[in-house]
Amino acid sequence: MSKFGLSQPVRRVEDKRFITGTGRYTDDINLPGQAYGVMLRSPHAHARVLGIDTTEARQAPGVLAVYTYADLAEAKIGNLICSIPLKNRDGTPRADTRRPALADGIVRHVGDPVAFVVAATAAQARDAAELIGVEYEALPAAADMATAMQPGQPQIWPDAPNNRVFDWETGNKAKTDELFAQAAHVAKLRLTNNRVVVASMEARAALAAYDAGRNHFTLYTPTQGVWLPKRMLAATFGVQESDVSVFTTDVGGGFGMKIFIYPEQVMTLFAARQLGRPVKWTSDRSEAFLTDTQGRANITDAELALDKDHNFLALRVHNLADMGAYLSTYAPMIPTMAGTKVLSSVYRFQAVHAHVEGVFTNTVPVDAYRGAGRPESNYIMERLIDAAAHDLGVERSELRRKNYIPPDAFPWTSAMKLTYDSGDFANTAQAALDAFDWAGAAARKAEAAKRGKRLGVGMAYYLEATGGAPTERAEIRFVDNGAVEVYVGTQSTGQGHETAYMQVVADKLGVPFENIRIIQGDSDRIPTGGGTGGARSLYSEGGAILSASDKVIEKGKEVAADLLEAAAGDIEFSNGEFRVAGTDRFKDILAVAAEARLRSGVAADQPAGLDTAMDFNIQAITFPNGCHVAEIEVDDATGTARVTRYVVADDMGKVINPMIVEGQIQGGVVQGIGQALYERVVFDADGQLLTGSFTDYCMPRADDIPPIKVILCEVPCKTNPLGVKGAGEAGTVGAAPAVMNALADALAVRHVDMPATPEKLWGILQATQPALAAE
């Protein structure tokens, strides 16, 4: 198994169907007799709906139905649910939102759905939607989270005075304040974490069907795990979970955004039941800008306390987090429980205190986006360290080195009360700095100046904390022709899960790689699953696969013992063979599995023989970490910034497939560079989206990105049997602070906010040009 076992850079088996156009996405699926749905959306960020006239639309060619909130209310369809309870600092519960699938008399952001039109074709549905007459009474909007909580601002929800969603804190405030009072130096920054769109390659979609005879709903939709939608949609429709089937085929990118429940999934199911025929809805890119959950959107005041010897003492953070107009599925958790747990990062802090306020605005809801709170927290920490180094006149990498948790201190309990099991932060950082040639930066700066460029270098050490449902499930089935099917509870959205899981199975059971099939995204055949999110998939699902494999081997020894006429205790298993110890008598696992099934007498489509399903519960999370180092050039004449060199040294624990891990890191880095230099969602004062297409919203292109060198520094994790640490989000977590630290170095300024557009940088250059010239 050396070719396809663990730690091998096996090419992804998924890629053949993707690059040949034979992938099967939700919009590729069609059901007999299906109709098409289109949403009519609000043009106002905040308005009262005084009336809806659907008469003309209902009479339009091909139209089958036009639904409004009144139809949902009559059918007693429930609201979309935010699944995160949260207590304020005073013990009271957070504010909530009532979010029906269609507006119930008030719209609260541009793009809020008002009516759903179903017709024989998508074009007919779109034409009919334009015939609906809606009378709006425009209301003032609160679109800026920086001012939305100020007195006199428009109120978005009556039970959220001053538009405050929650007022939450964590950490040790008293000790933090005490340490700040003792500090020899305090570095302070106000930081903006700009709002971004997710921009997945595949847009959201839903195809719904209803079986009246069984009172059964079926939904095809791109998700990050079919079980959460199954559970939440059953609650929305007031039926049993067994009355809902959810299927996810190939998914063209999720990044957090496809975990959640959206109005269109509810409306296609509702319409399918009402009409007795399948209904499909597929988003276009304009709708995606208006309705997909967005990411980041924080304003933070942060302080770092140091003693006279430059040791980090404490960290104090006050964060405003924009929730948008409605609370999405996990939204309150992202800036609070998810983000703050890594605030102390890889450093020896004595105390940390974080105060987080959630803010309602008349904008698109905000929820998890790749990294889900951890990129924001790492950005705070790493920008503060560079600000402190600037203030104190000390070298940036050395200030970090002085404060890293040393390798002999593990297990380490952080100031946020998390226990880190492993790490070698100083050596991982040094690997990145050496590969980057950090010491040669001065010479490169001088050379760049001759070309009219200002060159800067920056580093950022990040810590990620993976998470998600602690229990995962795997089922291994031996089927006809020697095939081995592995049913998993996670969902690939492009990461390469199929290949990685096949490697685990091949290594453990010795089954030929080409015989293995990974089955996912089917709530009928796979009864439970935690889904994909929080970079949890390999350590949780991998653990489940190992547990199921161990049980398969245990069962196989009993059958092999009988076949080989030996005692079960004398049977050994390795490289896919059950062998009588000390002899040359053996049976391979596929032969044993076939015999076990034959003896069971059970039909081929039912589990029997060696087939095994196992749950794997892991309470411990993993802490991937690493050092990003970036070089950037700023054009003196135009303010245009370009990343010219990039190195990452990452500790992902034991690496199952280096090729997949490197690809995940590189993709994440590009998203971080995008936020740092290019991307920003902009709403005007009335809540109108000004960046509603790729004409106005700038995405990084391939020619904007330098080669990204990845160095894998394996420090095996001690809390899961594979020794792995989650890799999916790590690239994004560390990229933005590394780029912005490099940019501040290039401009010789203390701070620049994201995104660092040419206009912004040109203004800084004009303001600082005389001083720099004098130097």
SS3 281: strand
Size of the chain in residues: 775
129 close to 114: Cβ distance less than 8 angstroms: no
Tokens, residue 470:
């602690």
Per-residue tokens: 144: 């800026």
Q: Which pLDDT band, with edges at 50, 70 and 90, does 272 fall under?
A: very high
Largest CA distance in the chain: 90
- The sheet with strand 63-67 has its strands ordered as 63-67, 113-119, 35-41, 279-282, 205-211, 216-220, 244-247
- Written out in words, the top-level CATH class of the domain with range 26-139+201-253+257-291 is alpha beta
Residue 775 has pLDDT above 70, yes or no: no
CA 586, CA 601: separation in Å to the nearest integer? 24
For the stretch 290-345, pLDDT in tens is 999 999 999 999 999 999 999 999 999 999 999 999 999 999 999 999 999 999 99
Q: 223-232, 594-603, 689-698 — which is least confidently predicted?
A: 594-603
Question: φ, ψ for residue 200 (rounded to 5)?
Answer: -65, 150
Delimiting residues of CATH 3.30.365.10 domain(s) in the chain: 298-466+621-774, 468-617
Fill in the amino acid letter for 527: P
Check residue 606 and give its pLDDT.
84
Cβ-count burial of 351 within 10 angstroms (0-12 exposed, 13-18 middle, 19+ buried)? buried
The pLDDT value recorded for residue 2 is 47
Using one digit for the tens of pLDDT, what is the confidence trace for 482-498?
999 999 999 999 999 99
Would residue 661 be called left, alpha or beta, if left means φ above 0 and alpha means ψ between -120 and 50 degrees? alpha
Cis bond upstream, residue 411 (ω within 30): yes
* Distance separating alpha carbons of residues 649 and 462, to the nearest angstrom: 11
Of 493, 553, 488, give the one whose Cα is nearest residue 370. Answer: 493
Asked if residue 742 has pLDDT above 80, the reply is yes
* Residue 769: per-residue pLDDT: 67
Query: Which residues belong to CATH 3.90.1170.50 in the chain?
Result: 26-139+201-253+257-291
Mean pLDDT over 390-394 rounds to 98
Q: Using pLDDT thresholds of 50, 70 and 90, give the confidence band for residue 772.
A: very low
Confidence of residue 774 (pLDDT cuts 50, 70, 90): very low
pLDDT in tens, 356-380: 999 999 999 999 999 999 999 999 9
Tokens of 764: 């800084």
pLDDT above 70 as % of the chain = 99
> Confidence band (pLDDT; 50, 70, 90) for 770?
low
Q: Is residue 1 pLDDT above 60, yes or no?
A: no
Average pLDDT, the chain: 96
The pairing of strands 185-193 and 164-171 is unpaired
Q: What is the CATH number of domain 468-617?
A: 3.30.365.10
What are residue 647's DSSP bridge partners? 629, 709
Work out the pLDDT band at 138, boundaries 50, 70, 90. very high
Q: What is the reported pLDDT for 602?
A: 87
> pTM value?
0.96
pLDDT digit string, tens, across residues 82-134: 999 999 999 999 999 999 999 999 999 999 999 999 999 999 999 999 999 99
pLDDT at position 187 over 50: yes
3-state SS class at 353: strand
H or E segment to which residue 447 belongs: helix 441-450
Q: Look at domain 298-466+621-774 and name its CATH class.
A: alpha beta
For 569, list phi and psi in degrees, rounded to 5. -70, -15
Measured CA to CA, the distance from residue 42 to residue 57 in angstroms comes to 17
